[in-house]
Every structure is written in C-alpha cells, then in structure tokens.
Amino acid sequence: MVKYKVEVDRQTCIATGACYATDSAHYESDEKQKSKVVGGETDESKSVRVFDDDNLEDAQAVAKACPVSAITVTQL
Ligand code: SF4
C-alpha cells in the first residue's frame, strides 16, 4: 500500500475527458465535463484526495497523459 495525493487543477483542465475515460478509480467528470478526483474535496479551482492503495502508477500515468498538465500526483 502506498499513500499518495492526487490533485486536479480545475482552472487549467480543458475538459477533454481523457483522465476519467482511462482511470475511473481516480477521476470522474463533473456536470461541465471537467475532471474531479473520485471521493475528493472539490471546488471551482481544485479537487484533491489522499489515496492509500496500490494504484499509484495508474494515477501517475494518467497525470502524465493530461494534455495541459492539470493533474499532480505526489507520493506521501
Ligand atoms: S485529462 Fe486533463 S484536461 Fe482532460 S479532463 Fe482530465 S484533467 Fe482535464
């Protein structure tokens, strides 16, 4: 098990849907198709949650693939 924080910069997100289409364990759409973190604390500017599981690499791969680098994954 690894503890890590996933944060989406919702001001930067351009609502491509790529993250939540690829990894629905970490990312989901809001009503405007912008990304938010599943089960996270979300407002207009960001969405954040700490996870404690074995899926760090999945979250990181999706973060790398975001076209505007709106996702940050930090191992704690
Ligand atoms: S991949 Fe990036 S731009 Fe696309 S919905 Fe996710 S956070 Fe937003």
Task: Say if ligand 1 is within 6 A of residue 21 CB.
Answer: no
**Domain-wise residue ranges, the chain:** 2-75
- Gap from CA of 31 to ligand 1 centroid (Å): 14
Strand 46-53, strand 35-37: pairing? unpaired
Task: Say if ligand 1 is within 6 A of residue 8 CB.
Answer: yes
The pLDDT value given to residue 69? 98
Q: Are 51 and 26 in contact (CB under 8 A)?
A: yes
Neighbouring C-beta atoms of residue 39, cutoff 10 Å: 12
Domain 2-75 part of CATH 3.30.70.20: yes
The pLDDT value given to residue 4? 98
Residue nearest to atom 4 of ligand 1 (CA): 16
pLDDT < 70 stretches in the chain: none
The pLDDT value given to residue 18? 98
The pLDDT value given to residue 26? 98
**pLDDT by residue (tens digit) across 35-53?**
999 999 999 999 999 999 9
H helices of the chain, in order, are 18-22, 56-65
The pLDDT value given to residue 75? 97
- Gap from CA of 36 to ligand 1 centroid (Å): 9
Strand 41-42, strand 2-9: pairing? unpaired
